[in-house]
Structure 1
Amino acid sequence: MIEFCPKIFIQMEQFNFNNELSGKTALVTGGTKGAGKAIAERLIQAGATVIITARNEPEKKNQNLHFISADLSKSDGTKKVVKVVLKNYDKLDILINNLGGSETKGGGFEALTDEDWEHSIQTNLLAPVRLDRGFLPKMVENKNGVIIHIASIQAKLPLYDSTLPYASAKAGLLNYSKNLSNEVAPKGIRVLTVSPGWINTSSSKAMMERIAESSNITIEQATQSVMDGLGGIPFGRPAQPDEIAELVGFLVSPRANYLTGTEFVIDGGTIPTV
């Protein structure tokens, strides 16, 4: 019989992680709302200097967040962000490539134009590639850095009717992230992928309201219909932005120093396979 030794059980509350990122500079793309906003605030709590970027300023400004306006779906936008960050901060320790989304119409492949494909690929794949390329030389010089690519479970569980280009771009991001990690790990840089399922953001709430109104059903019924479309969420609900942020906060911390080249799925059990 194995006896339990209470001395080796240490509750997480006993640890203070408030300053574990002190002295670190972090950039969160798409950091004005949703999961990006939650991630930025989580990194501030850990003591990092945090820069956020998006096309539009946040509705509620946080004096602890340094904002850069840029359209990262354009090459000039990524160049602007790299230039401003390195000029004002001289380095970047943590890069969270969170920007992403789908604006394409439904209807499957026949409904999609070249422009639909190009916009999704520029936003969800090439924007992270360009930012990595801009910041990696300094990280390599310092032999230190963490890059997180926020992908999606749609990379492996695509919804072809409405988000085919988005899912394809995220699949490319997943493959690229693994390849990049193999190249830069010997140089002191960690590269990881976080693949969320459905996240309960203001945008998703607005979508539920539109579905409920157009289908003459309740918001709860609309939410259930979307979960059913995903094949079900065993946990019974979408993720909260703070839950995504907590995972990212761990992955960029010194506590995760041996983790690189790995995908972390956070989907409440949505993907039904091993």
Structure 2
Amino acid sequence: MSEYLLDLTKEFAGRRVLVTGGTRGIGAATAQRFIDGGAKVVVTARNTHAETPKSATFIAGDTRTLEGAQKVAREAIAALGGLDILINNAGAARLHLPASTAISDEEWVDSLNINFLAALRITYASLDELVKTKGSIVNVTAGGRIAFGGPMAHYGAAKAALNNWSESLAKEVAPKGVRVNIVSPGPIITPGGDEVRNTITQAMGITDAQFFATVPLEGRAGKAQDLAEAIVFLASQRASYITGDTLFVGGGWGTLAGI
């Protein structure tokens, strides 16, 4: 079989994958996509949900602390017998209206912990294993080329830090055969994203249809599966010569739309 004619049901056979924030939304869709490709998958979050893939191994954990992140990494590597792919998807966005001045110091720290430092900590705790396997890391950020500000300034700042660190890490580990890439979603239908969007649309006095009308690609929202395909691609051998790069998945939102 040509290397370009892949059997996608076997693409990840024998591969061991850890997905943080993997129990719902983008994380759950990504975990299921790896499972469908033959991978052995561990998902981690504080709780499971109805959409958590049944074939994944769940490890409860809170990666907002160094101890929590290290514990998850240690238990996941033990459960999988090693690690080939790490997907840092855990994150949370909370709006604080009307402006960034409404964001408390505690909320700034919490946002940095969940949206940036959690990925950094679990990556460093897993890096020795990923070097052994010449593995792949995909970090999920947010917003395409849009700079989050005002009520979401803390979230935008944390994701900007994640972007910067991801590119720095990619340069650092490339000589060891480890790849690091970024997937940045636009308006995607997910439980967490829906909560944020509803707050925005209510504050603006517009409908969901009006909000999504700003998306150049047919004026529609994306699905968690759209992100999963992008994440899985960057983690796969199909992207074996891609590192330190960002893939924007948002139907042209924030790019073609000029937002």
> Do these two structures clear the TM 0.5 threshold for a shared fold by scoring above it?
yes
Q: Does 1:254 align with 2:245?
A: no
Structure 1 counterpart of 2:139, from 146, 149, 163: 149
The question of whether the paired residues in 2 share the 8 Å contact of 1:143 and 1:187 is answered with no
1:133 aligned partner: 124
Name the SS for the 1:264 alignment partner: strand
The question of whether the paired residues in 1 share the 8 Å contact of 2:148 and 2:155 is answered with no
Shift of the 16–127 alpha-carbon distance from structure 1 to 2, 3 Å rule, reads same
In structure 1, C-alpha distance between the alignment counterparts of 2:194 and 2:78, rounded to whole Å: 38
Q: Which has more radius of gyration?
A: 1
Q: Does 1:233 align with 2:215?
A: yes
The question of whether the paired residues in 2 share the 8 Å contact of 1:208 and 1:222 is answered with no
User: Residues 192-231 of structure 1: matches in 2 within 5 Å?
Assistant: 192-205=181-194, 222-227=207-212
Tell me the amino acid that sits aligned with residue 149 of structure 1: N
Which stretch of the first structure deviates more once superposed, 28-37 or 81-90? 81-90
Shift of 1:92: 0.9
Tell me the amino acid that sits aligned with residue 166 of structure 1: Y
Shift of the 22–89 alpha-carbon distance from structure 1 to 2, 3 Å rule, reads same
Shift of 1:162: 2.1
2:225 aligned partner: 242
Tell me the amino acid that sits aligned with residue 242 of structure 1: Q
Structure 1 counterpart of 2:115, from 119, 124, 127: 124
In structure 2, C-alpha distance between the alignment counterparts of 1:202 and 1:15, rounded to whole Å: 32
Q: Does 1:189 align with 2:171?
A: no
In structure 2, C-alpha distance between the alignment counterparts of 1:208 and 1:101, rounded to whole Å: 13
The question of whether the paired residues in 2 share the 8 Å contact of 1:104 and 1:116 is answered with no
Tell me the amino acid that sits aligned with residue 105 of structure 1: H
In structure 2, C-alpha distance between the alignment counterparts of 1:211 and 1:152, rounded to whole Å: 16
In structure 2, C-alpha distance between the alignment counterparts of 1:101 and 1:61, rounded to whole Å: 18
For each residue in 1:199-254, what CA deviation from the matched residue of structure 2 results, as whole angstroms up to 9, or x when unmatched?
11234445566677x67x7xxx52134347xxx21111121111111111211111
Shift of 1:267: 1.0
The alignment-based identity, stated in percent, is 34
For each residue in 1:132-170, what CA deviation from the matched residue of structure 2 results, as whole angstroms up to 9, or x when unmatched?
100011222x1410000001126x412323211101111
Alignment gaps of 5+ in structure 1:
1-9
User: Residues 1-274 of structure 1: matches in 2 within 5 Å?
Assistant: 15-60=6-51, 62-140=53-131, 142-153=132-143, 156-205=145-194, 222-227=207-212, 232-235=214-217, 236-272=219-255
In structure 2, C-alpha distance between the alignment counterparts of 1:69 and 1:177, rounded to whole Å: 25
Name the SS for the 2:188 alignment partner: coil
The question of whether the paired residues in 2 share the 8 Å contact of 1:50 and 1:65 is answered with yes
In structure 2, C-alpha distance between the alignment counterparts of 1:180 and 1:210, rounded to whole Å: 35
